[in-house]
């Protein structure tokens, strides 16, 4: 409508040199420091791939990281494990970190980042298998953010949650 300011279109894309990492602040020191100091190195060394959500190609409103990992079959709840082959370890994808800048909180960007991560994980699992998505909630307060999307707690590891890839597939059907 004429006179109305155009809303920015947020895009999720891999972290690159054009993004202003230094300005990012989510209020959690360890998550800020990771983006400021470590994320570029992890990308370069192929340890993790950081993705950012940006309204303008420069500002980072939020980010997450993805890596490959594995879980021991005996860490998975029995009702899920019984549906898997009896290998001692099973492949998984680690959603290592997820944070939204204080300036962009409460606008749905956390949910968008999580859905983007799950969608990418599902796509990649069709070529390099992954049986579930794993997250480590940074503290007890962060747990509900994941459980509300169906993540289940791994009984033997505190604050580690997982989402079977079959559940992810259902989400995007």
Ligand X SMILES: CC(C)(COP(=O)(O)OP(=O)(O)OC[C@H]1O[C@@H](n2cnc3c(N)ncnc32)[C@H](O)[C@@H]1OP(=O)(O)O)[C@@H](O)C(=O)NCCC(=O)NCCS
In the numeric block, which tokens belong to residue 29? 């020191």
**Structure tokens that stand for 5 in this block:** 């300011």
Residue 89, strand partner residues: 72
Give 81 or 149: the residue with its C-beta nearer to ligand X.
Answer: 149
CB 41 to ligand X: min, Å = 20
Q: How far is the CB of 116 from ligand X (least distance, A)?
A: 11
**Two tokens at 78?**
């029995």
Residue (31 or 117) nearer to ligand X, CB: 31
Cβ at position 5, least distance to ligand X in Å = 21
CB of 28 to ligand X, least distance (A): 5
- Tell me the CA distances in angstroms from 124 to 12, 34, 38, 104, 154, one per residue in order: 16, 24, 24, 29, 23
In the bound state with ligand X, the residue whose beta carbon lies nearer, of 89 and 103, is 103
- Give the Cα separation of 13 and 59 in Å (integer): 12
Q: Which residue is nearest to ligand X (CB)?
A: 110
Q: Are 130 and 56 in contact (CB under 8 A)?
A: no
Which residues of the shown chain bind ligand X in the complex (CB under 6 A)?
26, 28, 31, 98-100, 105-111, 137-138, 141-142, 144-145, 148
Closer residue to ligand X (CB): 48 or 98: 98
Residue 50 forms beta bridges with which residues?
A: 65
Q: How far is the CB of 87 from ligand X (least distance, A)?
A: 28
Nearest residue (CB) to ligand X, 89 versus 171: 171
Cα 114 to Cα 110: distance, rounded to the nearest angstrom: 6
């Amino acid at each position: 409508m004429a006179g109305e300011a155009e809303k920015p279109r947020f895009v999720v894309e891999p972290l690159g040199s054009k993004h202003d990492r230094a300005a990012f602040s989510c209020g959690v020191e360890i998550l800020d420091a990771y983006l400021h100091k470590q994320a570029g190195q992890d990308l370069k060394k192929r340890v993790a791939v950081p993705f950012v959500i940006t309204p303008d190609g420069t500002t980072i409103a939020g980010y997450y990281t993805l890596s490959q990992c594995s879980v021991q079959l005996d860490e998975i709840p029995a009702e899920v494990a019984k549906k898997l082959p009896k290998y001692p370890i099973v492949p998984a994808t680690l959603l290592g970190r997820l944070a939204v800048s204080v300036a962009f909180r409460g606008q749905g960007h956390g949910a968008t980042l999580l859905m983007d991560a799950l969608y990418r994980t599902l796509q990649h699992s069709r070529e390099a298998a992954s049986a579930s998505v794993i997250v480590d909630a940074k503290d007890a307060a962060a747990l509900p953010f994941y459980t509300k999307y169906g993540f289940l707690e791994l009984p033997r590891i505190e604050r580690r949650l997982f989402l079977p890839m079959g559940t992810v597939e259902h989400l995007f059907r």
